[in-house]
Amino acid sequence: MREIIFDTETTGFDPLTGDRMVEIGCIEMVSRVMTGETYHAYFNPLRPMPAAAEQVHGLSDRFLSDKPLFAHKAEELLTFLGDSPLVAHNASFDFGFLNAELQLCGLDPISLDRMIDTVALARAKHPGAKLSLDALCSRYGIDRSHRVKHGALLDAELLAQLYIELTGGRQIGLGLVDDRAAVAGSDDGGTRHLVRVRPYREARPHSATPQELALHSEFIAKIKDALWLESESAL
């Protein structure tokens, strides 16, 4: 199954009060395995960046000033997302901003039926524990030493690793019988999928052939004072 793990960076906490999304990072997974396919974009929010938000993600007005508007990237993003389930940490926040941006473009919002919230998964698995991405990465030993500030693609990569742990750990998909091997493809809508097929292989024969037995006998005959000959003569 194809899933998209994603994260967003914004100008604040509430799109209903005028806050905008300024970055999105998406990671493609198939059968809980990261395929290496990603989508990443920055957006010009057409409003000043509050100092508190810039301190979190480091995205300044100057940096974002020459970036495209969300409307100019919306179709490209939707093509990458396809109809896959979307995984996010505190997903209602990210879905709220994503759908607000889509509605500003006159596009249909993404159904909440596609939403998978890793905070909810973690709360069910670890009731009473800290549920921040940092805390859960520490719990599962996920390295985040390279994370100085929040970044949508970097956080999505960390979240992908966390999602694997929350849904079965690193052994998922490593069964003894597995008929999957990556083959890239796409549907008529241009959405990239991964079809996994492994060709059937006959069991290898383990019995020696007549030629191999003859070569073995010839080799044995050349050995002088073989220990097994001494054993046979003593019988």
* Tens-digit pLDDT profile for residues 127-171: 999 999 999 999 999 988 776 667 899 999 999 999 999 998 764
The Cβ-side half-sphere exposure at 202, using a 13 Å CA radius, reads 3
Query: Which residues pair with residue 93 across a beta bridge?
Result: none
Q: Is the Cβ–Cβ distance between 108 and 83 less than 8 Å? A: no
DSSP-derived secondary structure letter, 169? -
Q: Which CATH class is domain 2-176?
A: alpha beta
Residues present in the chain in total: 235
Candidate from 10-24, 53-67, 99-113, 180-194 with smallest mean pLDDT: 180-194
In our burial notation (b when 16+ CB lie closer than 10 A, e otherwise), range 94-114 reads: bbbbbbbbbeeeeeeebeeeb
Residue 180 has pLDDT above 50, yes or no: no
Q: List the catalytic residue out of 150, 193, 206, 216.
A: 150
Strand residues in the chain grouped as ranges (E): 2-10, 21-30, 33-42, 86-88, 115-117, 182-186, 192-196
- Which of 11, 42, 32 has the alpha carbon at shortest distance from 163? 32
Q: Is the Cβ–Cβ distance between 36 and 2 less than 8 Å? A: no
Mean pLDDT of the residues in the chain? 85
Q: How far apart are CA 181 and CA 199, in angstroms?
A: 9
- Return the amino acid letter for 59: L
Residue 199 has pLDDT above 70, yes or no: no
* Tens-digit pLDDT profile for residues 207-221: 778 888 888 888 878
Instruction: Give the pLDDT of residue 197.
Output: 47
DSSP assignment of 71-114: HHHHHHHHHHHTT--EEETTHHHHHHHHHHHHHHTTPPPPPGGG
Given the DSSP bridges, would you call strands 115-117 and 86-88 parallel, antiparallel or unpaired?
parallel
DSSP-derived secondary structure letter, 113? G
Candidate from 10-14, 39-43, 114-118, 212-216 with smallest mean pLDDT: 212-216
Q: Is the Cβ–Cβ distance between 67 and 59 less than 8 Å? A: no
pLDDT band at 35 (very low <50, low <70, confident <90, very high): very high
Residue 226 has pLDDT above 80, yes or no: no
The answer to whether the pTM exceeds 0.85 is no
Please give the structure tokens belonging to residue 142.
């996920």
Is 150 a known active-site residue? yes
Q: Write the CB contacts of 38 (distance below 8 Å, at least 6 apart in sequence).
A: 25, 26, 27, 28, 153, 156
Candidate from 29-33, 88-92, 164-168, 220-224 with smallest mean pLDDT: 220-224
